[in-house]
Amino acid sequence: DTAVSQTPKYLVTQMGNDKSIKCEQNLGHDTMYWYKQDSKKFLKIMFSYNNKELIINETVPNRFSPKSPDKAHLNLHINSLELGDSAVYFCASSKRTEQETQYFGPGTRLLVL
Amino acid sequence: AQKITQTQPGMFVQEKEAVTLDCTYDTSDQSYGLFWYKQPSSGEMIFLIYQGSYDEQNATEGRYSLNFQKARKSANLVISASQLGDSAMYFCAMRETQGAQKLVFGQGTRLTINP
């Protein structure tokens, strides 16, 4: 009965490859997010979807493309991976109303060699 | 633009003592939410406590309380009777209540509880 799940948990890949991270939530939330945590532990929003519609698209290279097939799923595809993409990527979800907490997935640790 | 500042990169506390983790914020919004998350060494982000900008009382959740001083724009986390399992990174975050409602995080404070 995991609330927000991500796969894979670890991802080690070579520069230039394309990879995807999947996220699923079973909380009945209508909004999902991708955050990036860098090597200094700083967390920053990347994207957000509400009912499959993109509502946040921060300054992220266009090599990163989110896709939301339905309200419960938000995937992140990364093309042409670079060394600087190495980070922990967190998926989160919430209801899009006031005072609603965002619940985070376990994170995907991406290492680009 | 919203900004969260956590000025304590690291803190060391004796087990069973109370600890206060500082958080100040900056926003021009009248309505906002403040959150604290815990990130243990295993890496997951655990929600601890929430304070709404219009809440008149400080939020409490078990051993966690939020010392909310709106005029000073501070939202400090107080952990009472600290335990070894409290050792972790702690993040303060703010969410705008209008628009896209993204969370803006502070730099985090690494708390170490000594036996």
For B88-99, letters b (16+ CB in 10 Å) and e give bbbbbbbbbbee
For A71-90, letters b (16+ CB in 10 Å) and e give bbbbbbebeebeeebbbbbb
B89 → chain A, closest CA residue:
A41
Q: In order along chain B (115 residues), what is the average pLDDT of each group of 10 residues?
A: 92 97 93 95 95 92 96 96 97 82 92 97
| Phi-psi map region of B102: left, alpha, beta (phi>0 left; psi -120 to 50 alpha) | beta
Per the CB < 8 Å rule, is B44 touching A55? no
Q: How far apart are CA A39 and CA B81, in angstroms?
A: 31
Q: How far apart are CA B18 and CA B30, in angstroms?
A: 31
Could you tell me if A93 and A4 are in contact, meaning their C-beta atoms sit under 8 angstroms apart?
yes
Residue B24 Cα, gap to closest chain A Cα (Å): 16
Write down the pLDDT at residue A56. 82
DSSP A84: G
Contact list, A101 vs chain B (CB under 8 Å): 35, 47, 50
Write down the pLDDT at residue B96. 76
Write down the pLDDT at residue A59. 79
Write down the pLDDT at residue A51. 83
Residue B100 Cα, gap to closest chain A Cα (Å): 6
* pLDDT tens track for A45-60: 999 988 888 888 887 8
Residue B80 Cα, gap to closest chain A Cα (Å): 23
pLDDT of A1 higher than 90: no
pLDDT of A22 higher than 70: yes
Contact list, B105 vs chain A (CB under 8 Å): 42-44
Write down the pLDDT at residue A83. 96
Write down the pLDDT at residue B100. 64
Write down the pLDDT at residue A53. 86
Write down the pLDDT at residue A97. 65
Write down the pLDDT at residue B114. 96
pLDDT of A98 higher than 60: no
* Backbone Cα Rg of chain A: 13
The mean pLDDT value for A26-36 works out to 93
Query: Where would I find the beta strands (DSSP E) of B7-87?
Result: 10-14, 19-21, 24-26, 32-39, 46-52, 60-61, 64-69, 74-79
Write down the pLDDT at residue A36. 97
A107 → chain B, closest CA residue:
B44
Write down the pLDDT at residue B97. 67
DSSP A58: -
Write down the pLDDT at residue A93. 93
SS3 content of chain B, % helix, strand, coil (to 5): 5, 55, 45
The mean pLDDT value for A27-51 works out to 93
Closest Cβ–Cβ partner in B100, B103, B108 for A41: B108
Structure tokens at A13: 């890949």
